[in-house]
């Protein structure tokens, strides 16, 4: 099977590379595809999701002052086939959720698209929205 490379992969600048790496691998369940040093960098993947982490350095691509929580104004949606293994790891590591697990149905025109979702912040405050697709269903007659 040919390796899959996502055409758009976010790279997150992190304040403590080892802490972030442990969080993404041990808690969130990502695996390491590429890891290098100077500066510390890792390319992570889980199912079809890919994300990169890099230690903040003076030589990095910093466009402004980095003040916690990082990533304000954005959340990264990460769709997994099944959220249960993630939920179990989050509970095991006693990770506080930003938003509890819930089922949401979004209006997509003539139908509704459903997902289970929860939100968690990584050690630097980046907001991660994990979802599991539930399928689509027709709108209720009263909603048309």
Tell me what the pLDDT averaged over the chain comes to: 93
Model pLDDT, residue 142? 55
Ordered alpha helix ranges (H), 1-144: 17-22, 84-92
Give the residue-averaged pLDDT of 126-141.
92
Count structural domains, the chain.
Answer: 1
Residue 141 reports pLDDT greater than 60: no
Domain encompassing residue 97: 11-57+74-143
- For the chain, give me the number of helices (H) and strands (E)? 2, 8
Determine, yes or no, domain membership for 121: yes
Determine, yes or no, domain membership for 95: yes
Determine, yes or no, domain membership for 80: yes
Model pLDDT, residue 1? 56
The pLDDT tens digits of the residues spanning 15-62 come to 999 999 999 999 999 999 999 998 999 999 999 999 999 999 887 777
Determine, yes or no, domain membership for 62: no
pTM to 2 decimal places: 0.89
Give the residue-averaged pLDDT of 78-85.
97
Residue 133 is part of a domain; what is its CATH number? 3.10.180.10
Q: Which residue(s) pair with 45 in the sheet?
A: 31, 50
Determine, yes or no, domain membership for 1: no
Model pLDDT, residue 85? 97
Model pLDDT, residue 62? 77
């Amino acid at each position: 099977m040919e390796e899959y490379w996502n055409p758009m992969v976010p790279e997150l600048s992190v304040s403590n590379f080892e802490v972030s790496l442990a969080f993404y691998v041990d808690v969130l369940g990502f695996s390491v595809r590429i890891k290098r040093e100077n500066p510390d960098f890792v390319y992570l993947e889980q199912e079809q999701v890919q994300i990169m982490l890099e230690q903040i350095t003076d030589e990095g691509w910093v466009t402004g002052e980095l003040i916690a929580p990082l990533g304000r104004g954005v959340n990264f949606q990460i769709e997994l086939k099944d959220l249960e293994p993630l939920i179990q790891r989050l509970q095991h590591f006693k990770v506080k959720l930003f938003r509890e697990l819930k089922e949401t149905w979004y209006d997509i025109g003539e139908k509704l698209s459903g997902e289970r979702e929860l939100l968690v912040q990584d050690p630097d405050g980046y907001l991660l929205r994990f979802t599991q697709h539930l399928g689509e269903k027709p709108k209720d007659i009263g909603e048309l």
